[in-house]
Amino acid sequence: MAMRLLGLGALYEDTVLTLPHFPAEDSKLRATARTTRLGGNILNTFGVLSSSPPSTPGAAPPFALRFCAAVGNQPSCAWIASELQRRAIAPALVYRAAVTGPATALVLCAADTGTRTVVSHANALDDPTAAELYHAATAAHVAPWWPGWIHVEGRNCEPVAQLLERVADRAGGYPCRISVDFERPRPGLWELMPRADVLFVSQTWARYVAVAEAAGGADLVQRVVAVVGLAMRQRAVCYVTLGGAGCYCFSRVPAEGTTPADAGFWLARVPAVALAPGAAVETVGAGDTFIAGVLWALVAGYDWVAAARLATELAAAKCATVGFEGLWEAPRVVRWLAENRPAGNAADWGVVSGMR
């Protein structure tokens, strides 16, 4: 059966401009390409998951996706609900009557360096309240629905924490898996850490942790293990993404390819995939694609290290693709799936907790 996955985050109407280089201040520069699409961390991840293959040939789609975000009034944003449905994502949108349209973002992609710079405008949209989030989680106004997994963008943390408390109270403990994207420092984000089964830590947030907590250790990853490890749940897993330096992941649950680390953790490094010169055409959403790969692999029954290996291949395919379509059909991803089979631990991540 499909995993019911609820995503909580922000939604943007993105305009992506590809530039030969980043513009100098007070200058003019002609873009070589322009793309407009719905975006935001969670929606990018869901865009990849909505086209993901079943874990076994002939099976049903692996996920039933529902997305909650605040947008403008319904007349100005009805097209967003239609677009989400077209992508096989059930909309649980929170409409703000006094606002017209969604939040927007301008994404500048510099071809010479591969960097991307995001300038966003929130459009005076208030984030959903805890009550609105709970309504999205249960969706009783549509049909009885309860998520088996909740994936959270690391923002609007206090209402999200209140939602997770209600989720826990309803079943005497978390009846579903929780994953959190720790992308940037935000108020209340620390409080979400002990609630998460899967943590995604960006390089920006890892550096923040190392400085803010004055954590010891020979390198950045050791500092993250020292700080984050203290707050993690017993069987949780943490993924630290470092761009070109690859990904490090750690957990107290051993897996193939890991080495012992401090405080009873097991650590693995997954190198980044080296693309041919000029093959990278758009890095926007590569981290969100990595998250999609991990979630898919864990639900499919791969261990947490194998999940990172697949996610790295999928993220590399994203960097070589404009947009998010066709990633699962990329030769490198097809080859990896053909050569690697699940370890048989789907009960840990899906069947026992999450699938209805």
DSSP 46-70: HHHHTTPPPSSTTPPPSEEEEEE-E
Is-contact 258 308, C-beta < 8 A?
no
Tokens of 348: 């840990």
The answer to whether 134 and 309 are in contact (CB under 8 A) is no
Express as a percent the part of the chain with pLDDT over 90.
70
Looking at residue 87, what is its pLDDT?
94
**Does residue 91 surpass a pLDDT of 50?**
yes
Give the mean pLDDT of 127-150: 79
Provide the pLDDT for residue 58: 74
Residue 117 clears pLDDT 80, i.e. is over it: yes
Rounded to whole angstroms, how far apart are CA atoms 208 and 240?
A: 13
Better-scored residue on pLDDT, 137 or 233: 233
- Does residue 257 register a pLDDT over 50? yes
Q: What is this structure's pTM?
A: 0.92
Least reliable range by pLDDT among 184-193, 214-223, 291-300, 332-341? 214-223
Q: What angle do CA 340, 341, 343 make, to 5 degrees?
A: 120
Contact between residue 185 and residue 155 where contact means Cβ atoms under 8 Å apart: no
Per-residue pLDDT reduced to its tens digit, 313-352:
999 999 999 889 999 999 999 999 999 988 765 545 543 3
Residue-wise pLDDT for 279-291, tens only, equals 888 888 999 999 9
* Greatest mean pLDDT range, 19-33, 130-144, 209-223: 19-33
The two tokens of residue 292 are: 């999609």
State the chain's mean pLDDT as an integer.
89
Report pLDDT for 115: 87
At 97, give phi and psi (nearest 5°): -60, -30
**Alpha-carbon span 221 to 226, nearest angstrom:** 9
What is the pLDDT at residue 208?
87
pLDDT above 90 for 353:
no
pLDDT band at residue 216 under the 50/70/90 scheme: very low
How many Cα atoms occupy the beta-carbon half-sphere of 86 within 13 Å?
A: 7
Report the DSSP beta bridge partners of residue 119: 106
pLDDT of 355 over the 50 cut: no
Give the tokens for residue 107: 């994404």
Q: What is the band of 170 on the pLDDT scale with cuts at 50, 70, 90?
A: low
Q: From its phi and psi, is residue 214 left (phi > 0), alpha (psi between -120 and 50) or beta?
A: left
pLDDT of 354 > 70? The answer is no
Give the percent of the chain with pLDDT over 70.
90
- Lowest-pLDDT choice from 68-77, 141-150, 291-300, 336-345: 141-150
Q: Are 264 and 275 in contact (CB under 8 A)?
A: no
